[in-house]
Amino acid sequence: MHRTLSTRIRLNPDLDQEVEFRRIAGSCRLVYNLGLEQRRDFWRQYRATEGRHLHWMGQKKELPALKEAAPFLADAPAHCLQMALQDLQRAFDAFFAGRAGYPRPRKKFENDSFRFPDPAQIRIDAKAGLLILPKFGRSKGDHGAIRAVFHRPIRGKIRSVTIVREGRHWYASILLQVRCKVPAEKAPVSIDEVYGVDRGVEVPFMGSDGVARGHAILPKPGSGEAKRRKRLEQALARAKKGSKRRAKVRLKLAAHRAREARRRKDMIEKVTTEIANNHRVVVIENLPVRSMTASARGTVEDPGANVAQKAGLNTAILDKGWGLFRIRLEQKLAARGGLLIVVSAAFTSQTCACCGHVSAESRVTRDLFRCVSCGHEAHADHNAACNIRDRGLALLGLAPSARIERPAAGAVVAVC
């Protein structure tokens, strides 16, 4: 069985290479945006006639003509320009499938990336710390190869390499095809192997055993770091367009955001690895992150309520990286022969894990759950995690474990 994995390495391009990176990224962005414009015009012209549409293979054939009109495009590797059009195709596919909004133009500083799709033209010399790509070192003696940091051996067959800028640094995202063992005949699941996780705002991840995870890695809301970000955003809004100061602030802000994103990803990776290593079946609730993080602003005719409050909650949800958590946990469990079960989130925070009574009044504060029917008291997220686990057990056809066996009220153990 084969599986695709991606691994990311930090690049240390020299000055000339960085200039070249920017130039290629700029050309790819231009091709992407022109392709987008072409599709929009095409649709306007032919919207009445059915069955006529553009595909990236067709747009690809127009690239030579475009290069004649804009000769600087010929300096960029041809494959990278083609991949920009393929990215556009994927963006439209996602749009038509209802998974994403209408594709937006790519912007400088925000979308600086390009992809090399041909494995035959990619080589890695991990010992020397070199990445060899078309236009970068594919000549005698690897002259011009990109210096890189390899933290771990690159195993598997290389499929493609994407170069991307985040903040001040450049990274290579390497797509690998690896062989993995087919899991032995799936053993029946026992009740002890099923684990529930609740995703919260204060504590990012709470387990059904009362273990809270992830909160110690992230900076607290309202900390110096959050204030610094706000200051930078204000400074950017004040700076004059096109000024040197604006460019400087923008770079600082990008670096700040990139660091926040790295820390969030680090937290998710640590938490998901720990959970996947220790539990075979994990149950989480189905949270539609996109609609949960949508703005509550509404329209002019129908203004939304509690806009600022919702905006604050959105930041909190995005901060904890809920979407990525589910993706990575699913991948890690699959690699270990485990299973991720997703259950409905309805009323998990209002249901008593002890007697099953449902009442909004049982949720005394954000952290405290006290059942109005039986008096069971627990951390609200822990109570919810137990409910999520029980829903998973019911789906598997296993009766929930005896409710009285639960850890005592308020028993929250912190691991990281």
**What's the min distance (Å) between Cβ of 91 and Zn ion?**
48
Which residues make beta-bridge pairs with 160?
A: 175
Nearer to Zn ion, 284 or 354 (CB): 354
Amino acid letter, 81 = L
Out of 371, 378, 384, 388, name the contact with Zn ion by CB under 5 A.
371
∠ CA 403-409-415, rounded to 5°: 105
- CB of residue 238 vs Zn ion: minimum separation in angstroms? 54
Quote the Cα angle for 285-287-292, to 5°.
155
Q: How far is the CB of 373 from Zn ion (least distance, A)?
A: 5
Residue 385 neighbours by CB distance under 10 Å: 31
Residue 373 in the binding site for Zn ion (CB under 5 A): yes
- β-pair type (281-285, 339-343): parallel
Helix (H, G, I), strand (E, B) or coil at 340: strand
Considering only 5-13, 106-114, 132-140, 346-354, which stretch makes contact with Zn ion by CB under 5 A?
A: 346-354
- The footprint of Zn ion on residues 192-221 (CB under 5 A) is none
> Which segments of 293-409 does DSSP mark as H helices, in order?
307-320, 322-335, 380-395
Choice from 176, 374, 396, 412 touching Zn ion (CB under 5 A):
374
User: Which C-beta is closer to Zn ion: that of 247 or that of 364?
Assistant: 364
What track of x and - describes contact with Zn ion for positions 351 through 370 (by CB under 5 A)? -x-xx-x-------------
- How far apart are CB 339 and Zn ion at their closest, in Å? 29
> In this structure, are strands 368-370 and 377-379 parallel, antiparallel, or unpaired?
antiparallel
Among 106, 376, 382, 391, binds Zn ion (CB under 5 A): 376
Which is nearer to Zn ion, 27 or 362 (by Cβ)?
362
Looking at the Cβ atoms of 323 and 356, the one nearer to Zn ion is: 356
Closer to Zn ion by Cβ: residue 355 or 415: 355
SS3 263: helix
Q: Which is nearer to Zn ion, 243 or 373 (CB)?
A: 373
8 A C-beta contact, residue 314 and residue 354: no
Q: Tell me the closest approach of the beta carbon of residue 371 to Zn ion, in angstroms.
A: 3
From the list 43-51, 147-155, 234-242, 374-382, the region that binds Zn ion by CB under 5 A is 374-382
Residues with Cβ within 8 Å of residue 32, at least 6 apart in sequence: 84, 85, 87, 88, 105, 106, 111
Cα–Cα distance, 343 to 121 (Å, whole number): 45
String of contacts with Zn ion for each residue 298-337, x by CB under 5 A: ----------------------------------------
Q: Are 32 and 195 in contact (CB under 8 A)?
A: no
Least separation, in Å, of the C-beta of 357 and Zn ion? 5
Contact, 380 vs 347, CB < 8 A? no
Q: The tokens 């691994």 sit on which residue? A: 7
Residues 6+ apart with CB under 8 A from 291: none
Closer to Zn ion by Cβ: residue 354 or 393: 354
Residues interacting with Zn ion, by CB under 5 A? 352, 354-355, 357, 371, 373-374, 376
